[in-house]
Structure 1
Amino acid sequence: MGRFDRAEIEDALQHYDAVVANCSATRDWAPFADLFTEDVDYFEHAYGDLKGREAVREWIVATMAPFPQMRIVQDWVAYDEANDAAVFGVNNILELDGVEYGFPNYSRVIYAGGGLFSSQEDTYNPARDAPRVVGEWVKAGGKLLTKPLAMKYVFTR
């Protein structure tokens, strides 16, 4: 077992999901960064590695600006209690007229205590999934609010 019991990690992950849902509902993604410690290590395979809460805030706000209404819905979770971590699958969903356009993402977070996470790693294939799905959504009538942030395609892990 790690430093924290599973119930505490589960509670923090439920809070994480609630914050993400609220970010989508309000279209304000800045509070997402407050889920992490000030010195968080955030490994994002498409956009590069981020260090620190404010770097995560800047990145998530810019990344979500074209489609701030995107919902990120957790499909499953597995706990790695020995490492105070959780791995979960999500579906990134853009909805239009009751039709969902989505693509998968898998994330691993490490819990640091106090309801905060010290690390997150997102793993998915943005070159294949995101442009195709967002393109289908736009073709159906979805509207981007800004130009999407360029991906760096940094595969360092």
Structure 2
Amino acid sequence: MTGPVYEDWIAWSQLFTDDAVYFDHHYGRFRGPSEIQMFLETTMMYGRHCYTALEWYNIDGDRIVWKGINRADHPDPAQPPFEFPSLQIIHYAGDGKWSSEEDWWILAEMTRYAKGYWKACQAIDPDFPQQLSRRHWGDVEWARPEDGHQARPSWFGREDEIPVIRRIDDMTFGERV
């Protein structure tokens, strides 16, 4: 709930150990809570329209594997959302902390999703991404916010403090793979 649902990327990053490694197959490796926070807030701020609904999860010892559906609501509420899947692998380190996270998604699927979303917004409501619409949380009841929840990600209101990352070359932190 802390990260993917309530979008509190500061609190989520603080749930990682000091030596944790966060690996995103596209963006690279990020080490420790500070770098993980920077990665999450910069990419999530740029993708402000995107939220992640939990599709399924599996817990095996200290490893949790879960499939998320990255969604962007269609500016026409009668239309289905735009979406692409991702797979996360998280390792529990004990004492309420994570030692690692791996995120896997397919660039071509994300690109198709983004192009469709932006085309619909331009045709219907170019300001729609600013609304932070989150209408389709899926079927896992405990993994969605309460009715009436208004999205306010941890970067909200701090946009001037956070570097704008539109592409990998804009990142001055982390390790490219």
* TM-score bracket for the superposition, by shorter chain length: 0.7 to 0.9
1:56 aligns with 2:40: no
CA RMSD of aligned residues (A): 2.5
SS across alignment from 2:167:
coil
Task: State how 1:137-148 maps to structure 2 within 5 Å.
Answer: 137-141=117-121
Partner of 1:150: 167
Partner of 2:136: none
Q: How far apart are 1:40 and its partner, in Å?
A: 1.1
Distance 2:33 2:2 in 1: 19
Are the structure 2 counterparts of residues 68 and 38 from structure 1 closer, same or farther at C-alpha, using a change threshold of 3 Å?
farther
CA contact (8 A) 1:29 1:68 kept: no
SS across alignment from 2:65:
strand
Amino acid at match of 1:95: D
Which protein is richer in strand relative to its size? 1
CA contact (8 A) 2:16 2:33 kept: yes
Partner of 2:14: 34
Amino acid at match of 2:167: A
Q: Give the TM-score normalised by the residue count of structure 1.
A: 0.73
Amino acid at match of 2:67: G
Distance 1:75 1:155 in 2: 29
Structure 1: runs of 5+ lacking an equivalent: 1-16
SS across alignment from 2:46:
coil
Q: How far apart are 1:67 and its partner, in Å?
A: 2.5
Q: How far apart are 1:39 and its partner, in Å?
A: 1.8
Distance 1:57 1:64 in 2: 10
Structure 2: runs of 5+ lacking an equivalent: 131-158, 170-174
1:86 aligns with 2:64: yes
1:122 aligns with 2:100: no
Distance 2:5 2:93 in 1: 22
Q: How far apart are 1:18 and its partner, in Å?
A: 4.1
Instruction: Count the aligned residue pairs.
Output: 132
Partner of 1:13: none
Distance 2:113 2:165 in 1: 13
Are the structure 2 counterparts of residues 134 and 57 from structure 1 closer, same or farther at C-alpha, using a change threshold of 3 Å?
same
Q: How far apart are 1:155 and its partner, in Å?
A: 9.1
Q: How far apart are 1:129 and its partner, in Å?
A: 1.4
Q: Give the TM-score normalised by the residue count of structure 2.
A: 0.65
1:100 aligns with 2:84: no
1:21 aligns with 2:5: yes
Amino acid at match of 1:150: R
Q: Percent identical across equivalent pairs? A: 24
CA contact (8 A) 1:42 1:119 kept: yes
